[in-house]
Amino acid sequence: MEKLTPVEVTNLLLGFAVMLALARAFGEAFNRFRQPAIVGEILAGILLGPTVLGSLAPGLFQGLFPTAGALALAYHTVITLAVVLLLLIAGLEIDLSVLWRQGRAALLVSVLGTAVPFAVGFGAAYAFPRFWGFEPGADLLTFALFFGTALSISALPVIAKIMMDMNLFKTDVGMLVMGAAMFSDLVGWIIFSIILGMMNAHAPTDAELGGDHGGMGIGATIGLTLLLVAFTLTVGRWLVHRAMPWIQSRLSWPGGVLSFTLVLTLAGAAATEAIGIHAIFGAFLVGIAVGDSTHMRAQTRMVLHQFVTYVFAPIFFVSIGLEADFLQHFNLPLVLGVLAVAFVGKLAGCLLGARWGGLSRNDSWAISFGMNARGAMEIILGLLALQYGVIQEDMFVALVVLALLSSIVSGPLMNKFIDRPQTWKLEELLHARLFIPEMEAATREEAIRELARPAAEAAGLDAEMVAQAVLAREQIMGTSLGQEIAVPHARLEEVDKPVLVVGHSRQGIDFDSPDGKPTRLIFLLLTPQQDMSAQIQIMGQIARLFKEEQARAVIYENDSVELVRAFVKTEAAPLLAH
């Protein structure tokens, strides 16, 4: 077999190491500001690509990420598999039943939120083709169809992440946005696969791309595509659902169902690639069919989801930045134009649908900004269009900027229109200065005073005042939860966010606990007077987590707040966290 040379293998491994490391670093930085990681991952790619690394250190760049030769092929192979797996995951997240269950408002948002931006994009491209960088001689219909689709498609993974961050995922508004986004993704991809068929028919670079697809005409491609969609979402879905219990009961677990899912994905991807639309469409369809089966276990979804989200997806998102020089091709009028029509089309369509469907003004705006987030899907479309010569680099760069900006503003703007209590995560409240691994206090009152000191300091208050408030509350009714835990607390006008101090008493303190045991783990909690939910949320998390002996042992045995934080975070994380 023809093989990579050791030097190429070294560079390949190094290249992926750098891509993954930078993607994680930037993704984390953006997560810190409650922004989707994808924004950071794309920026990491721009840094590693011709835009920055390529212009600062061209030798290093060409060594790590050459544009031709065996190494370039090797990257393309892995990136192709990465994007196939990413679309599998995107498909798994589409729950057809959610679509059906939504009411009239959701239907209107879905349809108008997809049709209006499509019409706006199509019209704009058709009316002023030169402004959008259309090259005369190419096929204007294909170009206009592409532009309309690119503006109408959503970004399910990005939207899901924003909904989760805002604690909206399981609310009416959240489900409506998710359902409508699924619809626009599904419709967008079907339209786009038809465009791909047209591109194959028209593209002047067809020979360059090395493929005639057995000379298949555009009619055959479109026909086969629709047939494949219809088959996969009906018979295929049913067959998968029937096969799943058999696989889980007869084959090894979870190897059987993992292999089954991946074999179907690869076969579906090969089928769509063979009929002249891109491989990822097949992976997406298989994802929908497989994910829809209620027999698929959460654990299988988790393994697929985590490995793809944290390994393959970053590799793909970073690779976007390798595709073009984002400075050289940054065309300000074009970027502003794309942003304007994209925002106006999507917001107008969604607002219209939501208001017509009877939603309040604030909810309608929130939903529209939610739907306006774009990401992976739109960029993949742009990438393919670039590859097939339908658009030029300038337009590709503008589309990436659109994806980045719309994702960034989506969460904060939704926040403006929707009034949700903030969510507090226990681990975010744990700090070294607010952790006393060896308490000195011997009585309940001494313990509260000992913990009140660092709490008051953190909140900029008087320690005696804080202690009095907590003691007053404690006298009304003891705050021991049993199982060695107590949570003395107070709501105060003077604090604007929760403060938590954790103390461990080795000898145990009498907190008048219901089970009669001495209290060894004491959480002193101050929350703002007006924020009723903060106290309930945080006390709930403490009770849930630390009723397990294993969790208490982590605090009893460690002096380092870092280990406690790590435990709280990894234990409390939901199974399918994004």
Tell me the one-letter amino acid at 21: A
Q: Which is nearer to its own copies, 127 or 573 (CB)?
A: 573
Which of 78, 98, 190, 458 touches its own copies (CB under 8 A)?
78
* Closest separation in Å from C-beta 143 to its own copies: 21
Which of 58, 204, 255, 421 touches its own copies (CB under 8 A)?
255
The helix, strand and coil proportions of the chain, stated in percent and rounded to the nearest 5, come to: 70, 5, 25
Q: How far is residue 495's CA from residue 518's CA, in Å, rounded to a whole number?
A: 30
Region 322-381 residues binding its own copies, contact defined as CB under 8 A: 322-323
Rounded to whole angstroms, the maximal C-alpha distance in the chain is 86
Q: Is 269 in the site for its own copies (CB under 8 A)?
A: yes
Q: Which is nearer to its own copies, 118 or 192 (CB)?
A: 192
- The closest alpha carbon to 573, from 163, 166, 297, 164, belongs to 164
Which of the stretches 170-178, 403-411, 507-515, 568-576 binds its own copies when contact is defined by CB under 8 A?
568-576
- The closest alpha carbon to 52, from 328, 335, 313, 314, belongs to 328
Give the x/- contact pattern for its own copies in 392-431, rule: CB under 8 A. Answer: -----------------------------------x----
Which of the stretches 293-301, 444-452, 466-474, 493-501 binds its own copies when contact is defined by CB under 8 A?
293-301
User: Is the sign of the CA dihedral 454, 456, 459, 460 positive or negative?
Assistant: negative
* Closest separation in Å from C-beta 189 to its own copies: 18
Q: Which is nearer to its own copies, 342 or 380 (CB)?
A: 380
Q: How far is residue 201's CA from residue 212's CA, in Å, rounded to a whole number?
A: 9
* Closest separation in Å from C-beta 474 to its own copies: 30
Which of 56, 57, 70, 576 touches its own copies (CB under 8 A)?
70
**526, β-bridge pairs:** 490, 499
Which of the stretches 22-30, 168-176, 364-372, 527-535 binds its own copies when contact is defined by CB under 8 A?
22-30
Q: Which is nearer to its own copies, 67 or 362 (CB)?
A: 67
Q: Is 205 in the site for its own copies (CB under 8 A)?
A: no
Region 28-67 residues binding its own copies, contact defined as CB under 8 A: 28, 31, 37, 67
- The closest alpha carbon to 150, from 305, 309, 378, belongs to 378
Region 438-467 residues binding its own copies, contact defined as CB under 8 A: none
Q: How far is residue 456's CA from residue 367's CA, in Å, rounded to a whole number?
A: 40
Q: Is 434 in the site for its own copies (CB under 8 A)?
A: no
Pairing label, strands 489-492, 519-528: parallel
Cα three-residue angle 434-439-441, rounded to 5 degrees: 120
Q: Is 576 in the site for its own copies (CB under 8 A)?
A: no
Tell me the one-letter amino acid at 71: L
Region 373-392 residues binding its own copies, contact defined as CB under 8 A: 387
- The closest alpha carbon to 49, from 33, 36, 60, belongs to 60
